[in-house]
Each structure stands twice: as C-alpha cells, then as structure tokens.
Amino acid sequence: MPELHQQAKRLLSVFMICCIASCGGSGSDSNNKVFTPYQYQAPEQTNDGWQSADLAELNIQPDLLTTLVDNINSDTNGFRHIDSVLIVKDNKLVFEQQFKRELDFSDDWANNKDIDLHILNSVTKSFNSALIGIAIEQGYIASPEVKVLDYFQHKNFNANWDVRKADVTLKNWLTMRHGLQWDEWNVSYLLPENLNSQMNNAADPIQFLLDRPMATEPGETFAYSTGISFGIGRLLQHATGQSVSHFMQHNLFDPLNIANYDYWSLDGQLHTGSALYLSSRDMAKLGQLYLDKGKWQGQQVISSAWVEESTVRHVDNGSWGYGYQWWMTTFTVNGEQLDTFYADGFGGQFIFVFPSINAVIVFTGDAYEPEQKEQRNVSQILEQYILPALL
C-alpha cells in the first residue's frame, strides 16, 4: 500500500493506494484544542526483547521530538491521523508514543479487541517476504526463480490462458512485475469493479488471480497487486505444507519474541497482502532484523543474502524503488541524502529503515480518506523533526 508515493504519483502519474476506506475527517485546523505540553520520557523497559534507553544516553536532544508530539496532540494540520510513532536508534528503543485511544472500524476486520495491536495493511507484505526468504533457506523453495504455476497445478488454467503465464517466476511476483492485467490504484476500493475487492469476494480468490489475462511480459512492467501478495502466501503454504500462520509463528515470530498478534483471513488463510495486526514495538523488530542483516539479538533468523537481495531496487523509478515487497526512497535532511528501505501500509502504517544512521522508525495511522491523507505529511515529519533529531 504505497501511501508515501501519492505525491510522486501526482508528479509521475504512477501511484495510488490499496485496501479499504473508512470515515471522513475534518479539514479545518484545531489549534485551539487544549492539551498538556509533552515531556519526554524514555520508553518502558519490558520483557519483549527491546532494550530501552533515554535519548540523553545517545546524545539526542528531545526538542524536535517534543514539538512533534505537541503538534500531534494539538491536532495541527499536517500531523493528524497518526496513531503511534516509535524510534529505534543504535539498536535501542528511545522514543515511543501511542496516540490511539480507542478501537476503530479497522479492528472489526479481525474482531481485534487489543488497543495495542494495529492493522498493518500492506506492511504485511514485507513480513511475508521474510517468510519466503526463510522457506528458501530451509529448502522448501529452491530459489526466487521457481515458476509460480508449479505450485498451483491443482488449479484450472483454461480461462485467459497465455503461454507467458508458464514463465512467471516467484521473483516476478515478489517485485510486482508479474505481467498480469491488474490495476487496483485507479478504481475506488469501495466500488465492486476494483480488482482487489473482486478477488477478496470471489468464491476462489486464487483461481480469480490465476485467471487474470496477461498484459505484459513477465519481469517487464511494475503493477502493484495485493492479489499477487496473497498468492505468494498461498505458494508458501503449498511449498511448506504448513499454514502461513503456523510457519510464521515458528520461524519468524518466535525468534523475534512476538507473542501477541492478530489477523483476518481470506479463503481460510492469513491474507499475506494486508491482514496482520501487531504492536508498534513488534513492527519495529522486522526493521531491526533487516537493519542487522537478518539477525535479532545475535540469532540469524533470515539469511543476510536474502535481506540484501530484498532491499535493492529491482524496480527503479528514480524517486522510488521496489525490491522484494519493500520500497526504497531517499530523504534530504540539512543537505544530506539519507537512503531508506521501508514497508508501507494504507492508512499510514510504515516501517522505515535508515542504515546510514542505524535507525528504525515506525508509524501507525488512520488516514484512509483522501482528505485525511492531506492532513498528515509523513515526509515532512521525517525531514523536519525526526531525522534532524537523530542526526
């Protein structure tokens, strides 16, 4: 759910978003709202695997972050619809603020009752990519070059058959260069014509995906598809002989000490394109895992080779790139270029990884309608508040 690139879409005519929409929001400033000025406190030390630290321990001044929290709490335009902000610096959790105070419509999708868990939407895709890397390392999948149709021989290929479908690889799916005719950006997700909605409502979602006609050669054209990400999860299921949730729990969540999570299902399985619910702390663990080349607290959970291969620009559109279900871009702070790879979910869910400054930054949010997105500027928050503080 490439929300960060909506500005790029206006310039490059390439981008839009994914998932389901919700309620509207006010377009006027609420700067007169009464609030208590924020006083920085170090994150709580718990037994979840994170080492907490005070900003002062890392010689980081809290002023910009204090202003950021005050702007969010005062409902200032540009800082709205943010549910949490979390910062990890030098492998230490140094900043954590939760702003969501009650459950909302997105929690109903999984009947979630835990305020600490937040829908990830397309950030789920990056977790699923990690699972594919683990499955390859364990020998369940030979390589990203395997042909995807080999895992769906029990399905029917008669509808819209094209010989090019036989050449589509897992790598083509991971990089969204699958060749299928698929556009889920330019039709409202509230309309039945939207392809993502059609797939989710189909009697057999995978058959719906496989029946799509080919539009381009495999590996040639980027076409963002949550359906493809769901297909990747089904491929994982067939390759391992395990449910996605079982494989995920034992091979990723247990090593990362992630015990509390939720998800909604499609066709009896965790929807690996958009369905996970996690806390901000546990979201940040995936970022730290990739920042540390696949290690968490000294344990190699994913191979360093997979992390490197996943976070390079297999798709390069100049201002943004795409790897194996991860995005890439660059921010400019005080004249310095900071490269990042990141997970991006509809509504304002992000895991940013900044290798050059050894930092992970997490956002969650609830900006689902166009007017709500206009009231929150993540790029500005990063470039004017968070990154300057860390630098």
Q: Is 176 a domain residue?
A: yes
CATH, residue 169: 3.40.710.10
Helix, strand, coil distribution of the chain in percent, nearest 5: 35, 20, 45
pLDDT of residue 170: 98
pLDDT of residue 27: 39
Q: Is 372 a domain residue?
A: no
Say whether pLDDT at 70 is over 80. Answer: yes
CA distance 313 to 34: 45
Domain count of the fold of the chain? 1
Mean pLDDT, residues 212-234 taken together: 97
pLDDT of residue 193: 85
Q: Is 98 a domain residue?
A: no
Say whether pLDDT at 109 is over 90. Answer: yes
Mean pLDDT, residues 113-138 taken together: 98
Measured CA distances, 33 to 66, 69, 71, 75, 200 (Å): 17, 14, 11, 7, 41
Q: Which residue has the tokens 């390589």?
A: 143
Mean pLDDT, residues 149-169 taken together: 97
pLDDT digits (tens, 9 = 90+) for 29-63: 444 557 789 999 999 999 999 999 999 999 999 99
| Amino acid occupying residue 286 | L
CA distance 311 to 322: 8
Which residues have C-beta within 8 Å of that of residue 335, sequence separation ≥ 6? none
- Per-residue pLDDT band for 385 (boundaries 50, 70, 90) equals very high
Q: Is 13 a domain residue?
A: no
Q: Is 85 a domain residue?
A: no
pLDDT digits (tens, 9 = 90+) for 175-204: 999 999 999 888 766 578 888 889 999 999
Tokens of 33: 């709202």
Q: Is 170 a domain residue?
A: yes
CA distance 261 to 248: 11
Query: Range of 206's domain?
Result: 117-278+297-323
pLDDT of residue 191: 76
Q: Is 258 a domain residue?
A: yes
Tokens of 174: 């991971």
Q: Is 226 a domain residue?
A: yes
